[in-house]
């Protein structure tokens, strides 16, 4: 008889343990779902904030700066930056992320009106991404003792560019000069699938940049 009672007790304890494990598992699942839903909600709200903060038109600069940096990715960025240099909005220009075909000789060939200023006052680096742009911009700015900088890039790219360059050059005044393609000028971003994907991808890169800087703020800004 004692043996039977012990067996029954063991089975009861096993049932209780299984029920407890099942309840714990359900709680973990609910918690995981809640956390995931919260992250999705925060990202969604952040995306709408990001879109609302994007510049929608080119600005008219009301001040000069020590230097100008153009982050490549569109031909209009380079031309606009050189035009700013030509009217003396900055003393020197860095074209950051230039490919090997983008050099002083090629720009002078395409825009002979800028030949003299390109050959005297334009520098190039071959960085491959926005973080690389920012690091090379820091090196260039420190070498030339630049304390204020006009940043030329596409409107959708400007928030991430300003965040990365600002992280590298916290003591330098940054002035945004966004440029826009004709396509982005003519239609809202949500009306075209390719443009919507471009904006969404840029937002995710923007979030990743901020998370990286927050988690390890000194890793990329070390001198």
Question: Is residue 93 in a domain?
Answer: yes
In whole numbers, what is the pLDDT of the chain averaged over residues?
Answer: 84
Quote the percentage of the chain above a pLDDT of 70. Answer: 85
Alpha-carbon distance 171 to 148, whole Å?
A: 9
Give the contacts of 210 (CB within 8 A, at least 6 positions apart).
163
Do 93 and 196 reside in the same domain of the chain? yes
| Closest-CA residue to 47 (of 189, 169, 207) | 207
* Predicted TM-score (pTM) of this structure: 0.81
- Asked if residue 117 and residue 78 are part of one domain, the reply reads yes
Size of the chain in residues: 223
If asked whether residues 82 and 18 sit together in one domain, one would say: no
| CA 65 – CA 94 distance, rounded (Å) | 13
Looking up tokens 């520098």, which residue turns up? 123
* Number of domains comprising the chain: 2
Q: How far apart are CA 163 and CA 180, in angstroms?
A: 19
DSSP 87: T
In a domain, 35, yes or no: yes
- Rounded to whole angstroms, how far apart are CA atoms 213 and 220? 8
**Co-location of 116 and 199 in the same domain:** yes
- Confirm whether 11 is domain-assigned: yes
Strand partners, 154: 179
Helices then strands, counting H and E runs in the chain, come out as 8, 5
Q: Is residue 62 part of a domain?
A: no
The per-residue pLDDT for range 1-51, each reduced to its tens digit, is 454 455 555 556 655 666 667 777 778 887 888 888 888 888 788 788 888
Are 92 and 169 members of one domain?
Answer: yes
**pLDDT beyond 60 at 223:** no
> Would you say residue 164 lies in a domain?
yes
Residue 180: domain span: 67-215
- The Cα–Cα gap between 85 and 76 comes to 14
151-207 pLDDT per residue, tens: 999 989 999 999 999 999 999 999 999 998 765 655 677 777 788 898 999 999 999
Strand partners, 71: 96
Same domain, 47 and 71: no
């Amino acid at each position: 008889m004692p043996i039977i009672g012990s067996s029954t007790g063991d089975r009861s304890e096993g049932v209780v343990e299984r029920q407890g494990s099942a309840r714990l598992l359900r709680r973990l699942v609910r918690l995981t779902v809640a956390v995931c839903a919260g992250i999705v909600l925060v990202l969604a709200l952040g995306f709408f904030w990001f879109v609302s903060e994007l510049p929608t038109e080119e600005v008219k600069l009301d001040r000069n700066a020590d230097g100008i940096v153009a982050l490549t990715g569109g031909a209009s960025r380079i031309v606009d930056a050189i035009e700013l240099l030509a009217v003396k909005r900055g003393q020197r220009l860095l074209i950051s992320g230039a490919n090997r075909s983008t050099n002083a000789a090629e720009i002078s060939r395409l825009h002979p009106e800028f030949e003299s200023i390109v050959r005297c006052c334009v520098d190039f680096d071959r960085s491959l991404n926005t973080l690389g742009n920012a690091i090379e911009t820091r090196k260039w700015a420190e070498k030339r003792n630049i304390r204020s900088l006009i940043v030329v890039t596409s409107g959708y790219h400007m928030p991430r560019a300003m965040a990365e360059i600002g992280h590298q050059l916290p003591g330098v005044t940054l002035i945004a000069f966004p440029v826009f393609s004709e396509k982005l000028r003519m239609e809202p971003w949500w009306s075209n699938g390719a443009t919507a994907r471009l904006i969404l991808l840029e937002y995710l890169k923007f979030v990743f940049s901020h998370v990286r800087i927050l988690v390890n703020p000194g890793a990329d800004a070390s001198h």
